[in-house]
Amino acid sequence: MKSSTQFAVEPVAYGLVRAYRSIGTREGLVMSDLHGSAWLGAFDAEDGELAGFVCVAPVNRAMRIRSLYVLSQFRRRGLGLLLVKAAVEQCGQRAATAFCNKVSKKIFESCGFVVHSEGANGTWFLRREELQAMDGPGPT
């Protein structure tokens, strides 16, 4: 079994992600290409196979991380965390929000997100404030 270190995260065209639309539809994933969206894919370093993806889209002055998905044969290898970390990097210093399910909630929390509200259908809305605010006071 490969670990997340054997995968590379790179920008991916929405057309490639759209090929997996049937997967997303079955699992309730929102898959649309919003203006300004950046799609990131995790690819197997050996054969280049797409293992998962995530979308980062601007929403007002913040960024929204959405459509996190790891294909079933690649799960439990740290790819969700790898993708969320790459998405957080894509957000830069901006605040970020995300909707997640029970499975991905811990991943987002480990990347600095905190629960803002809980939905009735087993989902959570999380926020990560601007990095400067999270990192504490600067040098004095």
Q: List pLDDT tens digits, range 89-113.
A: 999 888 899 988 888 999 999 999 9
Helix, strand, coil % (nearest 5) of the chain? Answer: 30, 35, 35
Is 45 in a helix, a strand, or coil? Answer: coil
Number of other CB atoms surrounding residue 128 within 10 Å: 23
> Could you tell me the residue ranges of all domains in the chain?
4-134
Decide if 114 contacts 96 (C-beta within 8 A): no
Q: List pLDDT tens digits, range 32-77.
A: 556 678 889 898 888 888 899 998 988 888 899 988 989 888 999 9
User: So what CATH class is 4-134?
Assistant: alpha beta
